[in-house]
A and B are shown apart, each in its own frame.
Chain A
Amino acid sequence: EAGVAQSPRYKIIEKRQSVAFWCNPISGHATLYWYQQILGQGPKLLIQFQNNGVVDDSQLPKDRFSAERLKGVDSTLKIQPAKLEDSAVYLCASSHTGRASYEQYFGPGTRLTVT
């Protein structure tokens, strides 16, 4: 099966600009996750979707970050306006539902640099 796709792979922007990331999960995976991985740290969940509904967005900085998964398939994550501390790798992951959902499949990530 094709893996999780993400684009772009790299992005450099200036602070206060906006940026958007795209993710296409593995076909048939109902659950989609966005993680933020700051250099030297493990990934941290930003938001989780089940189909097109939000399951967990408790750690999403909602004043500047937004995400949507309108048709329950692909998803976009937006930052507006960006801050220096948003420099990180943004990982998208997907999983099945039920007991098979223990395993999450990760995309290659988008490396964001905010200058």
Chain B
Amino acid sequence: AQRVTQPEKLLSVFKGAPVELKCNYSYSGSPELFWYVQYSRQRLQLLLRHISRESIKGFTADLNKGETSFHLKKPFAQEEDSAMYYCALTKAAGNKLTFGGGTRVLVKP
């Protein structure tokens, strides 16, 4: 069975401070990993995906297959980063996403 765990429900940081959102997964294979974000009053949307190995809005995520983790990081948080963040995995393109429980990030001025 596939499972995604986000241990922190809430992360509160000051503007300009680093932020790291933890994500651990269990899956018997090589899944594709994603981070989705939901800003206030907006739809759930893709932030970044492991296969693209890109940095979006200053965020990066490193896949550690040994530790089965896919933590999301940003060196200098901005107030506009305040949102709900969901880690998700899928076994292949066109398949369902399995989401973690989400982490709410609050960036204080």
Task: Point out residues on A near B: beta carbons under 8 Å.
Answer: 3-4, 31, 33, 40-45, 48, 50, 56, 91, 95, 97-109
The closest CB in chain A to the CB of B100 belongs to A42
Chain B residues whose C-beta falls within 8 Å of the C-beta of A108 in the assembled complex:
43
Assess A103 versus B46: contact at CB under 8 Å? Given A42-B101, A43-B99. Answer: yes
CB-based A-B contact count at 8 angstroms: 54
Interface of A is mostly: mixed
State the interface size on chain B (CB cutoff 8 A).
Answer: 22
B26 interface hit (Cβ, 8 Å): no
Chain A residues whose C-beta falls within 8 Å of the C-beta of B44 in the assembled complex:
43, 91, 106
Assess A95 versus B94: contact at CB under 8 Å? Given A42-B4, A103-B49, A108-B43. Answer: yes
Name the residue among B4, B46, B94 with the largest chain A CB count within 10 angstroms.
B94
Q: How far is the CA of A99 from the CA of B95 in the complex (A)?
A: 11
Known contacts A42-B88, A42-B102, A106-B44; can you find 13 more A-B pairs with CB under 8 A?
A: A4-B43, A31-B94, A41-B102, A43-B97, A45-B97, A48-B95, A48-B96, A50-B94, A56-B95, A56-B96, A91-B44, A98-B93, A102-B90
B81 interface hit (Cβ, 8 Å): no
Partner of A106, one of B4, B43, B51: B43
Q: How far is the CA of A43 from the CA of B49 in the complex (A)?
A: 18
